[in-house]
Structure 1
């Protein structure tokens, strides 16, 4: 308007067609902004984009009727970021910087032609694809780590089960049972993890476990004394899981001697050494525990729904501050109930479990993103049209359908 008046006088005005275009753009941006989160970063991008959009809308009426108009494509890219923006954890900073540079580039020239917006949008989409690729790689690493932890946990469970069965059958001394469930369980776990159930190595470990229980369940003064062959085998197995030679030998002597006695190392000394050790896989964390209480009917229904979901399903989850954060259920296990949640950048949000997530769903603190309602800019445009129909006294699209 200022340019018109400088060229044609103070009374110069925009034509009715241009005024209508600007009013339509105002309605559209109003609908877009209603779907944005209250954060100044994406809001500033949208604010700076309004001038280039106004130029495009006035120069090309196709802006409003072409769903794939390059200016609308760029608006949608930036609006989608603002709709889910919760900080750098949710959007790649490099992508955000590229968006800002593209918008600034449009401001630096009298951008009206669709080709100018198409070039800016292609640039943004190229960086968006790169960001998506980085997110995919990061997510894949977290999934592989979660699967590794599950394999470790299942191997540990099987090792503990075998030890419990031997202890129930032979009832070795209490201290021997402690050594079995701590030191020897690590050796069993590693063997099963590396070689599997059907391997001769695993069968050999099971036989050694039975021999340990049989020997140590005997009286202290039983004839034969220490089974030196068994002690050597146990010591070698413990060294494989990281025990120092002296510690491994001390444990092996007790696990291969009737009554579990050892004249060289006292129980107190050996217990202190074992307590100070890091168990196999302990630094990687543990799989989520079983549910603390019985699930209600609603919680059980949510749990069964989760068990049928494909990997990669999206959830909006309240982390406790009332803000819904979009998270992706990248992987879960029906064997352990363990689940992995990542953010849109592929970064791990939490190691959780299906039971906890089911309870969150039942309590309304998490909801499955069940459908794709199309692009944000298209939804905003349809809402703008519905608002105009309401002003004109006509039915909305939903009512007419």
Structure 2
């Protein structure tokens, strides 16, 4: 390729950089290094490419700074280096689209981001930041951390927020969301409130309401987050929600007034039926008038199996549902489990859903090969297929494009 380009573009006397490659070709070639960099977090190849020539340097910089991760395997010196680099070369800030911040015992203490470094990172004037991921393993999410994070969440370019941590201070939790940008479309919360403080907002949101398109909640028990989401002063609006993933839908309060508009807009739904599931609040899937994709994950216990079957029974023949994914844990093939699989095969087949295109079993290829024979009805109708664990994320991305 390079030889052909040199023949097509012989070096001119005024060409200080030699062969000129089309920028699109450079970007395409370096994109493969970018994918490797994202999986290995080893930027050596991209850094070497940045030294070749100006066009390569620009492309490499875009990939090197597209996703910035701090607090994982990076030492604190790397945080200081990033700060100095961005101050010396502010044009690099435009390449930062995602910021991933780790702190706490999830990583070695020497890598943990202290409050001074955290504030310094949050105070950078990001111009194209779209996603913020904050993963906190310590029970020290103070008001000072919340106010620093608040600056990031107010950026007008932001569209995705993933927040994970424990909040012993309810004031800190509520402060995070004050002045958050109305451009946020996707929210993931993996929050814990072990002290069981009241997380109700005490003041109205200072900016426009935030109309979410996607919401993912990883909460297993009543910890105040569910009450906060259903509070009238919560900044988030669910009237345009298209994708909902929740560990336990009974915690979210599907039937509450703030969630009622979402029943008409949700197109993809994912939830677990596990030990914290409230059997007295069965989810009526017929309420979701535009539901097209459903994923149910549950622990295979006789009591929970009955709940899952009853939940599926709420789907009506005219439902818009097109794809159902079942995730069984554990997956076994003894006589008891064969009977369980037969119940699901019979139940879904008997619903005679008009628009159903597939029923996916979320498992690896080897397990699926063994399990498929226990779903003869769905298999005979060419509905049965294998699904992997990335199904829901891909579906979410398809809806949010």
Could you say which structure has the higher helix fraction? 1
TM-score by length of 1: 0.20
Which structure's CA Rg is the greater one?
A: 1
